[in-house]
Amino acid sequence: QAQRRLNILLKEGAELGGDGVGTVLVTAPGDDPDHVFHAAQTRPVAAVAALQPGARFSEDLLAASLRRAARQLADGLTLRVIHQNAALSHPQSADYFHGVEQLGGQVRFSDILPFRLMLIDGQTAVCRLTDPGGAQETLLFQGARMLGLLGELFETAWVQAVPLTEAVPQPGPKALASAS
């Protein structure tokens, strides 16, 4: 049901246009929120800016993400992502970050990120929020005011974040090879 609502909103977003905040809850606590992030990219996408908190990602997730990034970047996607510094403590993650940059994406790092955020073409934002009780919900935002606010949040974090080249040394050639 959440997937159906998300697809309708993405295709018929005019209802949320103008200066309206356009906030819609798209998953309930306990649902898998990752499908919302991927479903929000169902249409052709030119630019993605993301905040990715978290310290550890599975090797399968990193490999799948690098393959997806390779396809999207080859198709002309502009990708800017900020990860938490703690993610650099895992060699597989560091290789992944270098792989993304070798493919044409930009990766930066910050000590703390407030929540997971993906801004898509400046028209849509998907956020994963955790309430004080630990439950997570994923929200879809459309509307000039909310997108402006989230865009400014990302740009501020981007300017304050450290580029990958300053955060960690270059790995061997295996990072890019795993994207093939």
Cβ atoms of 139 and 119 within 8 Å: the answer is no
CB 126 within 8 A of CB 9: no
pLDDT in the model for residue 3: 56
How does residue 156 score in pLDDT terms, banded at 50, 70 and 90? very high
Residue 171 pLDDT greater than 90, yes or no: no
Residue written as tokens 């400046």? 122
Coil vs helix vs strand at 145: helix
At 90, the pLDDT band (50, 70, 90 cuts) reads: confident
> Quick one: pLDDT band at residue 8, thresholds 50, 70, 90?
low
**pLDDT category of residue 19 using cuts at 50, 70 and 90:** very low
Residue 150: exposed, middle, or buried by beta-carbon count in 10 A (0-12, 13-18, 19+)? buried
Question: Can you say whether the dihedral through the CA atoms of 156, 162, 164, 165 is positive or negative?
Answer: positive
Confidence at residue 66, expressed as pLDDT on a 0 to 100 scale: 94
Give the pLDDT of residue 14: 44
Confidence of residue 147 (pLDDT cuts 50, 70, 90): confident
Neighbouring-strand partners of residue 110:
84
- State yes or no: pLDDT of 51 exceeds 90: yes
User: Is the Cβ–Cβ distance between 143 and 131 less than 8 Å?
Assistant: no
Measured CA to CA, the distance from residue 77 to residue 33 in angstroms comes to 23
For residue 39, pLDDT over 90 is answered with no
Once rounded to an integer, what is the mean pLDDT over residues 23-48? 62
For residue 8, what are the contacts with CB-CB under 8 A and spacing of at least 6? none
- The answer to whether residue 84 scores a pLDDT higher than 90 is yes
pLDDT, position 62:
92
Whether 119 has a pLDDT exceeding 50, the answer reads: yes
pTM for the model: 0.76
pLDDT of residue 136: 74
pLDDT value of residue 146: 84
